[in-house]
């Protein structure tokens, strides 16, 4: 092989083996490694799978031919990421099987398109790392920086989709996950990738510390993180100071098809049946999931004017709610519609969708007086692309494509979440609806900081497997990051009450249909909540400094 065709890390002992893996063989190995990385995420949490996968990806970059290095790295990184995202997000296809307007085959194609599209982010970022690549341990921080930038970009561009971050391989509520209280999920992703990629340096030049130095330092660093988390959890008080409210999250286990096929009042009665009453429950708050009240016949909430915060309850439902809720507060997902009279006419079949504004809402109903009244309303701010709205709808409306939610052209977004003061005896709360719980930093901070988080979700779209388990794990990281307890009601998913350390206090038993516990204590504002991007920026700056530092364990700097 001529020098022009050799890889940038031509002297590495691993190169002779991987150099033979060209073309489809290299792509097949990358694809398999990416799929293996999925085993590190919920519900499996096999962390060594991520370490093996990331090490293989670094070696594949090392062994890419010098002459076509950037092109080869793009292809190998793309196949790796495609294997990871398609396998990790395979459950998305189930949503298309639920909606009679679509089918599972279309869902499979949509999942492939989603995974392959997301794979472009790491492929581009790693290919651009060419000028900074070396044949020593300093390429590891370059790799981590590029991969983290890819995660940041896909988490913010085009609506954002920060799913499958490397931070989430650590089971929430465990020792290492507590690091998110300091640097957040993105910061923990940086540290996790450093650990996962560091074994690639074992086959570098030299012996002893030259080969194992970087991986030993990385392992020691994670030992310190584990020690920090262990100490944080061991000092956590089990007792809840003060008189915090008792919360019940209720979910009767109805599938999405059952909701659509049943009469709305039958669905309402099913939720009331697992909500308890004054004799069977001591709850002050009852929480139902997103979409608990279907909009197939009429909406629970009607606004008087578009964009107005004035709204009324449909009279047909208030009797049911008043009879069971008593003096408790109900938080439920519902579809809202404006303007009022036009919405009523639409649901009577007297007019079309023109001029109507729909929102995916969370409604707070105060039944303390015995006559339910609206006490708060939150319209989902971050809508799910293609699930709740069609991007560039005005351009593609002629194709007659409807969102999975089957609400005309989709929902309209509301303003960012604000804390809601519902009960003077309870801390203010903030509501995250489904998809919103995957975004770090979505909870208000400073003077607007709430006392707890309510997360309502509809995971019934995705079956009862990997997808809901991943969503549950991700939502628990929001509690760790913010130092706030979390009450989560998820239709078809995992409903639970979580403390401010990400630990489950009570998880709903499917046979009972609810979880109930005293709301865990609120912690003081975490370092991540105070400094947020400063913490992440500091870690990224540290990666740059590691790359620019003079090499200690390797004598040469060979760049592609």
At 248-294, the pLDDT tens digits run 999 999 888 888 777 777 888 889 899 998 788 899 999 999 988 76
The reported pLDDT for the residue numbered 262 is 77
Q: Report if residue 342 sits inside a domain.
A: yes
Q: Does residue 155 sit in the same domain as residue 265?
A: no
Contact criterion met (CB below 8 Å) for 409 and 393: yes
Q: Does residue 86 sit in the same domain as residue 115?
A: yes
Q: Is the pLDDT of residue 318 over 70?
A: no
C-beta neighbour count of 236 within 10 angstroms: 15
The reported pLDDT for the residue numbered 12 is 53
Q: Is the pLDDT of residue 221 over 80?
A: yes
Q: Is the pLDDT of residue 554 over 60?
A: no
Q: Grade residue 311 by pLDDT with cuts at 50, 70 and 90.
A: very low
User: Which residues constitute the domain of residue 260?
Assistant: 246-520
Q: Does residue 20 sit in the same domain as residue 125?
A: yes
Question: What's the predicted TM-score (pTM) here?
Answer: 0.91
Q: Report if residue 371 sits inside a domain.
A: yes
Q: Is the pLDDT of residue 89 over 50?
A: yes
**Average pLDDT over all residues of the chain:** 85
| Residue pLDDT, tens place only, 159-213 | 899 999 999 999 999 999 999 999 999 999 999 999 999 999 887 765 556 678 8
Ranked by mean pLDDT, which of 62-71, 347-356, 495-504 comes out on top? 495-504
Q: Does residue 505 sit in the same domain as residue 539?
A: no
Sign of the CA dihedral running 484, 445, 416, 159: negative
How far is Cα 63 from Cα 50, in angstroms, rounded to an integer? 20
C-beta neighbour count of 225 within 10 angstroms: 22
Ranked by mean pLDDT, which of 75-89, 283-297, 390-404 comes out on top? 75-89
| Residue pLDDT, tens place only, 420-461 | 988 767 899 999 999 999 999 999 999 999 999 999 999 998
Instruction: Average the pLDDT over 335-352 and give the result.
Output: 78
Residue ranges in 378-448 assigned as alpha helix (H)? 393-396
Q: Does residue 466 sit in the same domain as residue 366?
A: yes
Q: Report if residue 525 sits inside a domain.
A: no
| Nearest Cα to Cα of residue 434 among 333, 324, 295 | 333
Catalytic site includes residue 130: no
Q: Report if residue 557 sits inside a domain.
A: no
Q: Is the pLDDT of residue 364 over 60?
A: yes
Catalytic pick among 380, 388, 427, 436: 380
Catalytic pick among 251, 290, 388, 481: 290
Better-scored residue on pLDDT, 354 or 386: 354
Catalytic pick among 434, 436, 481, 516: 434
Q: Does residue 299 sit in the same domain as residue 384?
A: yes
Domain CATH code at residue 379: 3.60.110.10
Burial of 555 (0-12, 13-18, 19+ CB in 10 A): exposed
Q: Is the pLDDT of residue 408 over 70?
A: no
| Residue pLDDT, tens place only, 475-504 | 999 999 999 999 999 999 999 999 999 999
Q: Does residue 420 sit in the same domain as residue 455?
A: yes
Q: Report if residue 556 sits inside a domain.
A: no
The reported pLDDT for the residue numbered 349 is 76
Q: Report if residue 527 sits inside a domain.
A: no
Instruction: Average the pLDDT over 461-478 and give the result.
Output: 94
- CA angle (134 as vertex; 80, 214 as ends), nearest 5: 85
Q: Report if residue 310 sits inside a domain.
A: yes
Q: Is the pLDDT of residue 315 over 50?
A: no
Catalytic site includes residue 380: yes
Q: Report if residue 265 sits inside a domain.
A: yes
Catalytic site includes residue 266: no
Q: How long is the chain?
A: 560
């Amino acid at each position: 092989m001529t020098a022009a065709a050799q890889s940038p890390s031509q002297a590495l002992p691993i190169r002779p083996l991987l150099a033979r893996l060209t073309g489809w063989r290299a792509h097949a190995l990358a694809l398999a490694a990416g799929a293996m990385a999925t085993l590190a995420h919920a519900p499996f949490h096999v962390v060594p799978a991520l370490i093996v996968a990331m090490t293989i990806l670094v070696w594949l970059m090392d062994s890419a031919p010098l002459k076509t290095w950037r092109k080869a790295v793009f292809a190998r990184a793309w196949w790796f990421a495609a294997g990871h995202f398609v396998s990790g997000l395979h459950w998305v296809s189930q949503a298309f099987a639920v909606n009679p307007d679509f089918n599972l085959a279309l869902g499979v194609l949509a999942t492939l398109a989603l995974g392959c599209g997301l794979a472009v982010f790491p492929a581009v970022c790693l290919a651009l790392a060419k000028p900074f690549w070396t044949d020593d341990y300093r390429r590891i921080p370059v790799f981590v920086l590029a991969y983290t930038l890819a995660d940041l970009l896909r988490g913010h561009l085009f609506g954002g989709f920060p799913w499958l971050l490397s931070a989430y391989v650590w089971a929430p509520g465990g020792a290492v996950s507590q690091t998110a209280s300091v640097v957040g999920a993105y910061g923990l992703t940086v540290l996790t990738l450093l650990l996962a990629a560091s074994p690639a340096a074992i086959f570098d030049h030299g012996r002893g510390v030259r080969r194992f130095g970087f991986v030993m330092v990385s392992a020691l660093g994670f030992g310190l993180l584990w020690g920090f988390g262990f100490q944080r959890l061991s000092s956590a008080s089990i007792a809840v100071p003060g008189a915090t409210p008792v919360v019940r999250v209720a979910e009767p286990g109805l599938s999405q098809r059952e909701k659509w096929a049943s009469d709305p009042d039958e669905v309402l009665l099913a939720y009331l049946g697992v909500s308890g009453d004054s004799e069977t429950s001591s709850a002050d708050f009852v929480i139902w999931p997103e979409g608990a009240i279907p909009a197939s016949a009429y909406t629970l909430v009607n606004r008087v004017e578009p964009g107005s915060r004035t709204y009324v309850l449909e009279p047909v439902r208030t009797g049911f709610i008043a009879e069971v809720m008593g003096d408790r507060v109900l938080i439920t997902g519902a579809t809202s519609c404006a303007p009022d009279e036009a919405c009523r006419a639409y649901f009577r079949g007297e007019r079309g969708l023109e001029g109507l504004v729909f929102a995916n809402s969370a409604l707070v109903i105060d039944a303390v007086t015995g006559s339910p009244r609206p006490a708060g309303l939150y319209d989902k701010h971050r809508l799910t692309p293609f699930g709740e709205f069609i991007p560039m709808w005005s351009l593609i409306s002629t194709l007659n494509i409807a969102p999975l939610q089957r609400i005309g052209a989709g929902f309209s977004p509301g303003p960012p979440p604000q804390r809601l003061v519902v009960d003077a005896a309870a801390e203010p709360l903030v509501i995250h609806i489904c998809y919103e719980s995957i975004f770090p930093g979505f909870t208000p901070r400073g003077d607007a900081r709430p006392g707890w988080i309510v997360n309502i979700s509809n995971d019934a779209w995705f079956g009862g497997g990997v997808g809901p388990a991943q969503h549950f794990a991700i939502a628990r990281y929001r509690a760790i990051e913010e130092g706030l307890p979390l009450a989560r009601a998820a239709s078809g998913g995992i409903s639970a009450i979580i403390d401010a350390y990400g630990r489950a206090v009570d998880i709903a038993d499917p046979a009972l249909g609810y979880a109930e516990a005293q709301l865990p204590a609120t912690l003081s504002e975490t370092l991540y909540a105070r400094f947020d991007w400063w913490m992440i920026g500091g870690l990224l700056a540290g990666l740059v400094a590691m790359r620019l530092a003079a090499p200690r364990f390797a004598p040469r700097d060979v760049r592609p």
